[in-house]
Each structure stands twice: as structure tokens, then as C-alpha cells.
Amino acid sequence: MRRTLLALPLLLLTAICPPAPVLATAMAAEPAPLELRMAVNSLPASLGNPFRGNGRPGSQVWAAIFDALTELDEQGRLQPALATAWEPVGPTVWRFYLRGDVRFGNGRVFDGDAVTAVMEWLMSPEGRRSVIGNELRGVKAVRTIDPLVVEMETAEPDPILPKRMAAVMMVEPDLWRQLGPDGFAQQPVGTGSFLLKGWDQRRRQAQAVANPYRWRPSAVTGLTFMELPNAAVRAQALLSGDVDIAGVEIDELERLKRNRFPVVITPSMQVMSIAFRVEGTAPDAPMRDVRVRQALNYAIDKQALADILLEGHASPAGQPAPAITFGYDPDLEPYPYNPVKARDLLRQAGFADGFVIAAEVVIDSLPADTLIYQAVAQYWRNVGVEMTLQIVTFPQYLKKFLTNSWTADAFGASWNSSPYNDALRPMEVFSCRRPKPFFCDPALADRLGQVAQIMDDGERLSGMRALARDYQQAAPAAFLVDQIDLFSHSPRLANITIRNRVPDYRSIVRAGGANQPTE
């Protein structure tokens, strides 16, 4: 009988004890243990529930425990994961071919019924209210064709559904059904290379051990995630040997390099911006006038933000997609720094004397973000617009973002192409197509809806580049910089690669080749 997360049988909960690993012989051949300590700015607020968030900080932990059907490689290209291949079999149907001989961390078989059960929960009313369920709102049916083949049907043609699936972590469906989302979050089980051992809320740590059924080679036998919110503290923990790898800040790079700690700098698939709250504001609110929004873009010296505050590691931004992302238009230049034009546009809009606004932001989330927000405030002050920064926590931010319950006039927001690396995702976020939009241009949304259904990549790329120009003119946000991710690690480690903004824990080995990945 096909399993489903929507069924609610009366089951007696039993202790979760995985049967004897079938890979015992292979595990015995592994080299000496390699235990890693990863410093993160925050443990996921939803713990082991991967559907209540999308991206960091949660993905730093979830990437160790779970797999998705697809994934991105180090260059941001879509690759097989739990699905080995996929193809469209009709205008609105995608077929996914699954990997065989995969088990969850408790020994249960991963198959088409497991995928269908996960997707059906995400399609349920409760699932639709989750972050991931909302992102998959176009999926209307899922069918198990045979144990290793699944079909997904969408309401409209969706050329990027295989990319969307990179965000859908495959939870163990029977356990999810038995425990419910909150119970599962405490003791999550996936097909990932690691199995969560427990959450230490007092010490703000999470420990994971090697999944005895992991289907991918890895030299790493254990992971400890340590919550260290302050970037300077994370860097010091690296230098003192208390952690092995950490996300670091731009102002720590010189000290780390001086002490011979390798630094990894990668594009983050994000355009950092300050979004303008348009919907739900008074008819005479400044942000409702496109001239005001354009003026605030002209008022910022984005090249200085990139060259000085990000030390030349980033580029000024002026469109929905960063350079690494599908949909980026290399011929579309950012708004030039022109404070004279900014003041003239403000005058035309009836705000010659400026105005006062507030912006809600999360800090220590992106490199130099605090300094960038402060610099923007100064640039806007120079043209008569006074901005007050209101610091919020990430859980507070996420709630406001999902419900458009902002109390300020603007908020920090990335045009975030991760985890798809496709500009269609941030374009949808900044549009009427979002359930509770903060910016809504009906004509722009209609064009976006048309482009979103183009199955041919070449045609879709042309359409998205035209949309990028429309978005730039509509100015729903002040585009700032193409952001970066910064990691540093112990010199005792090697082969550190970044996939989808998270270190690939599976690829890490001891420097010198003493510990290589094994089956």
C-alpha cells in the first residue's frame, strides 16, 4: 500500500532504533574518524523541520541530514541527487527517475511512495503554509508510477520544477506522519550522509554522526554545529582551534590569512537590496511613486560599497539576478551614482524637502551587511531622506516576510536565487504572484507569468532579460551589490567546496590526503 503523510492512523509510538546496518563491512573499512566542528551564526529556528525555511541558516544543518531529488554543484549547475534523471512528459508533467538502493537513516527504503508522501503533505493545507509548500504552490498532483519513477503535475507549465526540487528535502515519511512536524524536528531522519544525534539547546549545539546507510562516500564521521552569532567570535574560535570551519566576515580576512587559515570566497546567488513596502501603505506614501524608488537607487554609490566595504570581492548590482544566475543580463548596467538626479526626481515627486522612513533589517547575515546598511542611510541622508534602521532577529524577519506584516517603510531583502540559481524565484517574490505581496505591478506580473511558462531555455532567457530591464525601471528595491559568501577553515583540512551556500561536508578530507572519502 502506498504510504502517505496525509493519513492519520492510530499508532503506538515506538523507540526509533535503526536495524543493523547493511553496510557494516564497508563501514569497518573506513579510516580513522574525522570529526568536524562547524560554527554557524544560528541553528535553525525550526530545528530539523526543513520545510519552514529555505536557505541559511537552516540549510547549514539540513544539508548534512537530508537529500533532495536534485542539487546544485559548486558552479551552481543543476545535478542529480536522489533523482538520477528527469524529463517533461507533457506541457504540465515532469517525470523523475529515482536512485535505487537508497535508505533513510533508520533503514527504511527510499522510493517513489516516499517522494509522493512528502509532496502530498506539502500540498496539504498545513503544508502549503510552510515556506517550501508555498514555493511549490504550482504543483497540483503527484503520482508514483513505479517504485523508482514519480510524476509531478503542475497547474501551469513550469520549466524550473527540477530546480525547485533542490529545495525539497526528503524527510522519512512514516516518521514524519507518526511524530508530526514538531516531533520530527526534534529527531529528524533523512537520506543524507549524517544522522542527527541530538540538539543541545543549553549549549546551542547539534551533533550528527555518520548515517550507517549513507549512499555517498565521505571521510567525515561526525559533525558538531556550534551556534556563534558574532562573526568576530567565530573567527577567534577558528584561530584558537575550537572549531574547524566557519562563515566569517570581511574584516576578519586579513587576520585569518596572516595566520595561514585558508579563506573560500564564492558568489552567494543573491543581490543584496533594500526592498520598498508598497502594498498596504497609504495612497500618498513616498514608496508608491516610482520616481522616489528610482531616486533612492540613483542616490547610492554601489561601486563604492563593492570596492570599499566588500574589498573588491563583489560587484555593484542593478537587476534581479547576480552574474552567476540564469536570467542575468550582462548588458544591463546598474543605476549610476547620481545624487543630483536623485534630488531632481524627489522634487518631481513632491518630496523636495525629503522625508523620513524606517527599514527593518537582519544583521550579521551577509558580509559587511551592517556597514552597507549604514552607508546607504548616509547616501540617502545626503539627498534629504532620513532612514532609521530597526534591527530584527531572523525568526521575526521570516514571519514578517511571509505575511507582509512589516511596520516599516522598507526592509532588507535579497533577490535570492538560491537554492535554484534561477532568477525566476526572486522575480516571483517581488511580484503580485506572491500570496501576500509587498510589491505588485499587475502588468509586470502578467509578463512574468508568461515568461515563467516558456519551456525552451533560450527563449526563456531572452524573456527574463527583458523582464530584468522592466524590474530595474519599476525599482521595487534599492539594488546594492551581488553578495558573496565567506568561509574559512583549519589548515588541517582540505577539499573545502561550497554547494548552494553551504560547505559540502562530504568532500572534506584531512590535508595531505591522510583521510579520503570511502564507501
Give, for 5, the enclosing helix (H) or strand (E): none
Look at the domain 267-484 and name its fold. Answer: Dipeptide-binding Protein; domain 3 (3.10.105)
- Confidence (pLDDT) at 217: 86
Q: By three-state DSSP, how is residue 446 classified? A: helix
Mean pLDDT of 77-81: 96
CB-based contact 498:485 (threshold 8 Å):
yes
Q: Which CATH superfamily is domain 67-191 in?
A: Dipeptide-binding Protein; Domain 1 (3.90.76.10)
Q: Is the pLDDT of residue 15 over 60?
A: no
- Confidence (pLDDT) at 288: 96
- Confidence (pLDDT) at 56: 82
Q: Where are the domains of the chain?
A: 33-45+192-261+490-519, 67-191, 267-484
Note the pLDDT tens digit of each residue in 497-511: 999 999 999 999 999
Residue 223 in grid coordinates: 559533525
Band (398; pLDDT cuts 50, 70, 90): confident
CA gap 158, 264 in Å, rounded: 34
Up-side HSE of residue 475: CA atoms within 13 Å toward CB?
A: 18
Q: Is the pLDDT of residue 22 over 90?
A: no
Q: Shortest CA distance to 444 belongs to which of 475, 472, 467? A: 467
pTM of the model: 0.86
CB atoms within 10 A of CB 58: 26
DSSP string, 402-420: HHT---SSEEEEEEE-TTT
Q: What are phi and psi of 47, to 5 degrees?
A: 55, -120
Mean pLDDT score of the chain, rounded to an integer?
A: 91
Note the pLDDT tens digit of each residue in 227-270: 999 889 999 999 999 999 999 999 999 999 999 999 999 999 99
Mean pLDDT of 47-57: 89
The CA-atom distances, in angstroms, between 434 and each of 59, 429, 450, 471 are: 23, 6, 15, 16
Look at the domain 33-45+192-261+490-519 and name its fold. Answer: D-Maltodextrin-Binding Protein; domain 2 (3.40.190)
CB-based contact 53:61 (threshold 8 Å):
no
Q: Shortest CA distance to 57 belongs to which of 297, 249, 229? A: 229
